[in-house]
Structure 1
Amino acid sequence: MKLRTDLAPLAAAVTDAARALPARPPVPALAAIRLEATPSVLTVAAFDYETSAQATVDAEITAPGTVLVSGRLLADITRTIKGTHPVDLELDGARLLLTSGPTRYTLHTLPLEEYPTLPVPAEAGGTVSGPALAEAVHQVATAASRDDALPILTGVQAEITDDTITFAATDRYRFALRSISWTPAAATGATAKVTIPAKSLAEAAKILATDEQLHLTLPAAHGVLGLAGRSRTLTLRAMEGEVPDHKGLWPTDFTATADLDAAELADAVKRMALVAERGHPVKLHLTDGALALSAGTADDASARDQVTATTDLLTGAPVTIAFNPGYLLDGITALKTDRIRMQIVHPVKPALLTPTDEDPTTLRYLIMPIRQSG
């Protein structure tokens, strides 16, 4: 193998592919990045049996070939090389020579026969907007669990219908739901339901966020979701099981509603969180025309604050509800809106956060309150 390519696209391709490298590879080959030079393009790939990432780079190929090199090391090298010199890659026996101007590296290669076969996505089932996908996944993934005790809760579920993809995630304390449109390849559309690890799906969506149109491969019997942009292709293996059904979760009858400035509310919650010890909530007190916040205890540090709000107390009585400040901030941030509508059923029942525009495709964030003593 022998080729020349520009540094910037090579570094970007290696960085994107390296996102699929496992943190603790079970075998040395899975810590490697696969470089394949064909007559006109260099393909950079990584695979951990669950996620594969492939990126293509335009290159002047003198001699085609394929090689495996340490993925983390190659990513570090391409990220730290400076200047505008092109990069030359040349296989010399069992070593890969990387040269860029005065900088030269000699890298050990790994046996190609030890590397697993990369998954090949099936024919695309339709197309979806890269920016819309990235935003929706980022918003919903914030509600996925970080605890592997219940693995299915660490995933984001994608339910694909004729013209809509609905993403859902929960960690049992909050539930996030967001829909986006997509264009099926067939006139009759297609349906599927698949749960993908939230971290992997978020990484994939981030990599492809700048592509205006992505080709989406629906999961078939082998349970692999495929996403392909202009120069990036990713496959994601589905998890076994489904996220808990959300269709009966969303309340429709409320006792109190408050329309709030998102930035003002977020800043106030952050101030209250400074005195809310671990496991202690931030309390929200809704009265006519105002929302007050409090946190802390009389025996320790405490704080109070107030934000402007348009409130509607259907029972006429003030309402006090308490939340984990981190979960509340996650929801405010994920909504990506200037104004938030908070709708409360009861102080011990989940509250609903939505943008005030009430667009049914925007994020809906259901958050479980903390039961207050006394």
Structure 2
Amino acid sequence: MKFRVERELLSEALSGGARVASNRNNAMPALSGVHFEVKGDQLILTSTDNDLSVRFGLKVAGLQDGVAVVSAKLISDIVRVMPEEKVTIEAQGEEISVSAGTSEFKIHLFAASDFPKIVTAGTQSVTISAKVFAESLHQVVRAASSDMQRLALTGVLMVAEPDSVCMVATDSYRLAVRELPGATMLGHGAEIVVPGRALDELKRLIGDAETMTMALGENRATFEVGGATLTTTLLNVEFPKYKQLISASYPNKTTTAREPFLEAVRRLRILARETTPIRLEMLKDSIRLSVVTQDLGQGEEELEAKLDGSEITVGFNSQYLLDGIDAISGDEITIESTDPVKPAVLRGVGDKNYLYLVMPQRLTT
């Protein structure tokens, strides 16, 4: 196997492959590798950890057809720092060489026969707007848990409603819900839970693409965008009953400008530790934000705001609050609340398709 290719193009694909390749399975070393296959002027790069796989198709100057499997992280790191714009890759015997200009590296290969066959969803795909789906991922995936001991919370629920598809994620401390009006990627009444890690990687792959395709199988989903194909095993779990957490109405609603609110929380986070909440005093004409961290210091900000309801003071985890504000689009944001010990809901003014619910954090003073 031998080919020549633009370094930047290859490096980008290898970085994606290295993120997916397993670094935990010592029993199957090939899972930590990236699979190269050259046919003519087409290179297919594939990485997998058996649950998630990604495949890239690249146009190259093919010099010799063949296959090879090599450490994904190692070859990604090497290609990224090569000095020339063009890189030559050649596999001979038990080694693969990476050369550019006066630089040459040789890496030991894994047995290509040990690399697993990738199974895609294998069903008819539907074309969807990549831009809208990427925006939805940006808003929702952040609320999924990374704790594998709570497997159901590591996924994103996708469920077909009568006139839309709804995407939901929660880690039990916050909840993100995004409606996709008119979306038809799921059949009527269908419900799946997609691993948040897979969707986070998909978000990276979408980039500036305009369209993408999605196919659903019995236990897996396949997404194609640009020259990349991502396939993930679906989670066979029961997603939490989330609708009961969202009240039909809230007696208190504060409206303020989103960007100053976001920047104020970012500044106060400098002093806020995980166990130190940011205090929000929602007053008649303003929001007063403050944080007091023992042995570090304190900070305070005050922003213009409009309150519809009663004045209320609530504490929030600074990271969860920041994530919610960041996920919301638009110039203004509302904070809807009932009382200091019940969840609050953040929404963009005029946006009925997204909400971010966050649990309060107890204030000690």
TM-score normalised to structure 2 length: 0.91
The one-letter code sitting in structure 1 at the alignment partner of 2:105 is Y
Q: 1:281 aligns with which of 251, 269, 277?
A: 277
What CA distance in whole angstroms lies between the structure 1 residues aligned with 2:72 and 2:300? 51
Contact 1:126 1:183 in 2 (8 A): no
* Deviation at residue 284 of structure 1 after TM alignment: 1.6
Map of 2:43 onto structure 1: 42
Map of 2:30 onto structure 1: 29
* Deviation at residue 106 of structure 1 after TM alignment: 2.0
Q: 2:318 aligns with which of 308, 325, 328?
A: 325
* Deviation at residue 160 of structure 1 after TM alignment: 4.1
Map of 2:208 onto structure 1: 210
What CA distance in whole angstroms lies between the structure 2 residues aligned with 1:104 and 1:181? 53
Contact 1:125 1:190 in 2 (8 A): no
Cα displacement string for residues 114-152 of structure 1 (whole angstroms, at most 9, x for unaligned residues): 111112331343112222222211221221223333121
What CA distance in whole angstroms lies between the structure 2 residues aligned with 1:111 and 1:182? 47
The one-letter code sitting in structure 1 at the alignment partner of 2:355 is R
Are the structure 2 counterparts of residues 162 and 110 from structure 1 closer, same or farther at C-alpha, using a change threshold of 3 Å?
Answer: farther
Contact 1:134 1:202 in 2 (8 A): no
Are the structure 2 counterparts of residues 87 and 276 from structure 1 closer, same or farther at C-alpha, using a change threshold of 3 Å?
Answer: closer
Cα displacement string for residues 330-360 of structure 1 (whole angstroms, at most 9, x for unaligned residues): 1111113321111112222111100012x22
Map of 2:60 onto structure 1: 59
The one-letter code sitting in structure 2 at the alignment partner of 1:47 is T
Are the structure 2 counterparts of residues 233 and 297 from structure 1 closer, same or farther at C-alpha, using a change threshold of 3 Å?
Answer: closer
Question: What 5-or-longer segments of structure 2 have no aligned partner?
Answer: none
Contact 1:161 1:189 in 2 (8 A): no
Contact 2:160 2:187 in 1 (8 A): no
* Deviation at residue 208 of structure 1 after TM alignment: 2.1
* Deviation at residue 159 of structure 1 after TM alignment: 2.1
What CA distance in whole angstroms lies between the structure 2 residues aligned with 1:303 and 1:58? 54
Are the structure 2 counterparts of residues 117 and 318 from structure 1 closer, same or farther at C-alpha, using a change threshold of 3 Å?
Answer: same
Map of 1:135 onto structure 2: 135
What CA distance in whole angstroms lies between the structure 2 residues aligned with 1:264 and 1:102? 52
Percent identity for Structure 1 against Structure 2: 28
Are the structure 2 counterparts of residues 124 and 80 from structure 1 closer, same or farther at C-alpha, using a change threshold of 3 Å?
Answer: farther
Let me know the Cα RMSD of the aligned residues.
Answer: 2.4
What CA distance in whole angstroms lies between the structure 1 residues aligned with 2:67 and 2:159? 38
How many pairs are equivalent? 364
2:343 equivalent to 1:350: yes
What CA distance in whole angstroms lies between the structure 2 residues aligned with 1:192 and 1:58? 38
Cα displacement string for residues 65-91 of structure 1 (whole angstroms, at most 9, x for unaligned residues): 11111111110111111223x322223
Are the structure 2 counterparts of residues 192 and 206 from structure 1 closer, same or farther at C-alpha, using a change threshold of 3 Å?
Answer: farther
* Deviation at residue 25 of structure 1 after TM alignment: 2.7
Contact 2:79 2:98 in 1 (8 A): no
What CA distance in whole angstroms lies between the structure 2 residues aligned with 1:274 and 1:30? 40
Are the structure 2 counterparts of residues 8 and 252 from structure 1 closer, same or farther at C-alpha, using a change threshold of 3 Å?
Answer: same
Are the structure 2 counterparts of residues 61 and 250 from structure 1 closer, same or farther at C-alpha, using a change threshold of 3 Å?
Answer: same
Q: 2:288 aligns with which of 292, 295, 298?
A: 292
The one-letter code sitting in structure 2 at the alignment partner of 1:296 is V
Map of 1:366 onto structure 2: 357
Map of 2:19 onto structure 1: 19
**3-state secondary structure, aligned to 1:142:** helix
Contact 1:127 1:183 in 2 (8 A): no
Map of 1:179 onto structure 2: 179
Cα displacement string for residues 234-261 of structure 1 (whole angstroms, at most 9, x for unaligned residues): 1011122132122232222222111111
Map of 1:335 onto structure 2: 328
Q: Which moved more, 1:122-131 or 1:289-298?
A: 289-298
Written as runs of structure 1 = structure 2, the 5 A alignment for 1:241-252 is 241-252=237-248
Question: What 5-or-longer segments of structure 1 have no aligned partner?
Answer: none
Contact 1:173 1:367 in 2 (8 A): yes
* Deviation at residue 299 of structure 1 after TM alignment: 9.5
The one-letter code sitting in structure 2 at the alignment partner of 1:158 is M
**3-state secondary structure, aligned to 2:108:** strand
**3-state secondary structure, aligned to 1:204:** helix
Cα displacement string for residues 19-67 of structure 1 (whole angstroms, at most 9, x for unaligned residues): 2112323321111110001123100110110110000111232322111
Are the structure 2 counterparts of residues 274 and 13 from structure 1 closer, same or farther at C-alpha, using a change threshold of 3 Å?
Answer: closer
TM-score normalised to structure 1 length: 0.89
**3-state secondary structure, aligned to 1:149:** helix
The one-letter code sitting in structure 2 at the alignment partner of 1:227 is F
